[in-house]
Amino acid sequence: MSSDPLDIPNELPADRQPPPAAPLEASAGRDPAHPDQFRSRAWTAGHPINLRMSVPFGFGRFYLTIVAGRERRSASRRRAERRLHPIATLGNIALCAGCGVIVGLAVLALIQLALTFVLQQTGSLVITP
């Protein structure tokens, strides 16, 4: 096996293998400098959760992709991909912090609504228009 971390064996079943790539010379529109620019997305076909969205912001568009399902990769492939795509990056930490703030604010709002409801029902809180 090659020591190149990008050389990850394809472990899909035979019926889910992507079709072989056409030679670059015969493929009009392909850039030889980027041979995998039209690489097959067949690996996402069998996932029960496959959410993709593009979100516009004032300064550009961002995309979000969530793909989930049963783990089928071998331990060696997971290790190789973990080296290529580490979890502890500035972007991932910022995303987790932002999601934590949003969830925290939602929980506080629900607690406030519940307390307001209980206090109104017991007569301890009277709201006049």
Which tens digits make up the pLDDT trace of 63-92?
888 889 988 889 999 999 999 999 899 999
Q: Which comes out higher in pLDDT, residue 81 or 3?
A: 81
pLDDT at 20 over 50: yes
Closest CA to 16 of 61, 37, 47: 47
Q: Which comes out higher in pLDDT, residue 18 or 69?
A: 69
Q: 80 phi and psi, to 5 degrees?
A: -65, -45
Instruction: Report the mean per-residue pLDDT for the chain.
Output: 78
- The beta-strand segments (E) located in 49-104 are 49-57, 60-68
- Say whether 51 sits in a helix, a strand or coil: strand
Domain ranges of the chain: 1-16+46-85, 88-120
Q: Which pLDDT band holds residue 5 (cuts at 50, 70, 90)? A: low
Please state the rounded mean pLDDT for residues 15-19: 61
Q: Do 77 and 8 meet the contact criterion of CB atoms below 8 Å apart?
A: yes
